[in-house]
A = this chain, B = another copy of it.
Amino acid sequence: MSDVCIYEVGPRDGLQNEPETVSTDAKRELIARLASAGLRRIEVTSFVSPKWIPQLADGDALAASLPDAPGVRYSALVPNEKGYQRFRAAGGASVAAVFLSASETHNRKNVNCSIAEQLERIRPVALRAGADGAGLRAYVSTVCGCPYEGAVAVSAVAELTKRLFDLGATEVSLGDTIGIGVPRQVRDLVRAVSVVAPLEHIALHLHDTYGRALANVDAGFEAGVRTFDSSLAGLGGCPYAPGASGNVATEDVVDLFERSGVATGVDLDALVDTSIWLEDAVLGRALPGRVYRAVRGLREREAQRAEG
């Protein structure tokens, strides 16, 4: 049993921001290891055009051959009806994830249309997902601030959240895309959103660009949110490359909760083993997760002492 849900987005949101494309076999092994570590919700790929995200061009093949993991629900990103057709044809994932921004400029830069138009693109996907019995996760980005417009009103995020649930979303994930939020703001945001939707259907998707992700996770938890998106070892982001995604690391969130007496159901050592494998055998570059790096360092020093 667990008190919180850690929603792993590394295979999708992490790998789509890595410079190297990872083989389908390695992705499958990554997902199997994540499920085996106790993660129960994993976003595995994207059905966005391979032109835009070549790293996930194997989405159809991967989704069709996902590890059989009892109790695990897989999701995949679906930009529009065409993407939804691929999602259904591939099978494997049972949750379609749609996305839009809370700020007009960011939405337009990302998907080349207004927020209202994006909601109209989501509508047929939501209808089909509802008819098919698939889950519908909706990502709202820039909820704590926009790189083009600056401040984003809490009321605008709450209104958009309401619209997404009205359209048929089963879950809304609120993303601090540029990592600019502070705990006070997260508390205000959660309070405003709780008026339009039950918090058990709300997730927080927090980036660590300014080192505040865990402060914001803690604030979100204290305010009543129980689902937190994260990426294994901070996959897809790098503290030394400020343009990168900067997803909070799964190990960091798990360790924060477990040391706070909040059960995650996730095995931290198995996550670290997976991150070591991913870093050494697959990506060949250092991953930024703080707990991962600290635990790996401690293990290496213990091994040296044992040898010496």
Q: Which residues of the other chain, B, contact A286 by a CB distance below 8 angstroms?
A: 240
A242 to chain B, nearest CB (A): 3
* A212 touching B214, Cβ below 8 Å: yes
Q: What separation, in Å, do the CA atoms of A40 and B223 have in the docked complex? A: 34
A239 within 8 A of partner (CB): yes
Specify how many copies of this chain sit in the oligomer: 2
Partner of A211 from the list B249, B259, B298 (CB cut-off 8 Å) is B249
A264 to chain B, nearest CB (A): 13
A229 within 8 A of partner (CB): no
Q: Could you say which of A94-102, A121-129, A162-170, A179-187 contacts chain B?
A: A179-187
Q: Which residues of the other chain, B, contact A296 by a CB distance below 8 angstroms?
A: 242
A161 within 8 A of partner (CB): no
* A243 touching B208, Cβ below 8 Å: no
Per-residue B-contact encoding for A95-125, CB less than 8 Å = 1, 0 else = 0000000000000000000000000000000
List 5 A-B residue pairs with CB atoms under 8 Å apart, sorted by A's residue number: A182-B256, A211-B291, A215-B218, A240-B286, A241-B297
A residues bordering B, Cβ < 8 Å?
179-180, 182-185, 208-215, 217-219, 239-243, 249, 252, 255-256, 259-261, 286, 288-291, 293-294, 296-298, 301
